[in-house]
Amino acid sequence: MRDGVIAYVGIGANLGDARAAVLRAFDDLGQLPQTRLVARSSLYRSAPVDATGPDFVNAVAAVHTHLTAPDLLAQLQGLERRAGRERPWHHAPRTLDLDLLLHGSARIESDVLTVPHPRWQQRAFVLVPLSEIAPDLVPPGALAAVTSQVIARIP
Mean pLDDT, the chain, rounded, equals 90
153 catalytic? Reply is no
Q: What is the DSSP letter of 45?
A: E
The single residue of 50, 85, 107, 136 carrying the catalytic annotation is 85
| 28 catalytic per annotation | no
Concerning whether 119 is annotated as a catalytic residue, the answer is no
Among the listed residues 19, 99, 119, 153, the single catalytic one is 99
pLDDT at 123: 92
Determine the pLDDT at residue 4. 95
Looking at the structure of the chain, the number of domains it has is: 1
CA distances from 133 to 42, 43, 86, 126, 127 (A): 9, 12, 29, 11, 10
Indicate which CATH number applies to the domain containing 107.
3.30.70.560
Nearest to 10 by CA among 147, 112, 119, 88: 119
Residue 51 has pLDDT above 80, yes or no: no
pLDDT at 75 over 80: yes
Residue 86 above 80 pLDDT? no
**Whole-structure pTM value:** 0.92
The pLDDT-based confidence of 89 (bands split at 50, 70, 90) is very low
Catalytic residue among 40, 45, 94, 123: 94
Tell me if residue 24 is catalytic: no
Q: Mean pLDDT across the stretch 26-35? A: 96
CA 40 to CA 47: how far, in whole Å? Answer: 21
Which of the following is catalytic: 97, 111, 119, 153? 97
CA 130 from centre of chain: 9
Q: Is the pLDDT of residue 88 over 60?
A: no
- What per-residue confidence (pLDDT) applies to 98? 94
Q: Tell me the sheet residues that pair with 9.
A: 61, 100
Average pLDDT over residues 10-35: 95
Question: 91 lies in which domain range?
Answer: 5-153
Per-residue pLDDT tens digits for 92-140:
567 898 999 999 998 989 888 888 988 888 899 999 999 999 999 999 8
